[in-house]
Chains A and B, each alone.
Chain A
């Protein structure tokens, strides 16, 4: 157990629907990162939050949004889902959100299947 908790583990939904993925960071970590992993693209950075504020943004679609709450858990909202959004979504956390010598601690991921 890495200490980063992601729920749900699996999600199957229809095109056009909206889902919310949840992440609780490792105790003491202030920064949360969201990554998308597909077979052909590898791990793609979506967005980073640090202590409740957006810190960095990657190639995140406008249909996707995220937030980090005062208790530091984070949610990734995916709307108007398309077949191509099917992927593994990982949350990771780190202590400072700057440079951390041990990189990020990853959760086990949420497997999203859009049908």
Chain B
């Protein structure tokens, strides 16, 4: 069974204090690993797709990386508007399996 574990559950940062969020996964053949951002009361919003170990993608202050067992979302010099819950999801290459999500990391950036 595909599983995704995210840590920490919650993270509080000062503005400008860089950090990383972790996503550990177990999947029978990875087709893709996805990062989403979710603001309170809203649906998840797509950020990145990673396909193979060693791959990196960047968007503004966010950089996502992938290994064979983990993905990291690095946040450089965060701002208060980066406060949100960040979700990681995997899709298996075996059969028609929908995205399996982790429980997310709730990030708060304090000015």
Contacts and interface: CB of A to CB of B under 8 A. Distances in A.
Interface of A: 2, 4, 33, 35, 41-43, 45, 48, 55-56, 58, 90, 92, 97-99, 101-109
Contacts of B54: none
A105 B99 contact: no
A89 B99 CA distance: 16
Contacts, number: 60
A105 B99 CA distance: 12
Given A101-B49, A108-B42, A43 B87 contact: yes
Counting chain B residues whose Cβ lies within 8 A of the other chain, the interface size class is: 20 to 34
Contacts of A99: 31-32, 91
Interface of B: 31-32, 34, 36, 41-46, 49, 87, 89, 91, 96-104
B46 A105 contact: yes
B101 A42 contact: yes
A103 B43 contact: no
Nearest to A47: B98
A2 B97 CA distance: 23
Contacts of A43: 44, 87, 89, 101
B99 A103 contact: yes
B41 A106 contact: no
A58 to B, nearest CB: 7
B5 to A, nearest CB: 10
Nearest to B96: A56
Given A99-B91, A104-B99, A106-B44, 10 more contacts: A2-B43, A33-B99, A42-B102, A56-B98, A58-B98, A101-B32, A102-B49, A103-B49, A103-B89, A106-B45
A45 B36 contact: no
Contacts of A103: 32, 34, 36, 46, 49, 89, 91, 99
A58 B31 CA distance: 19
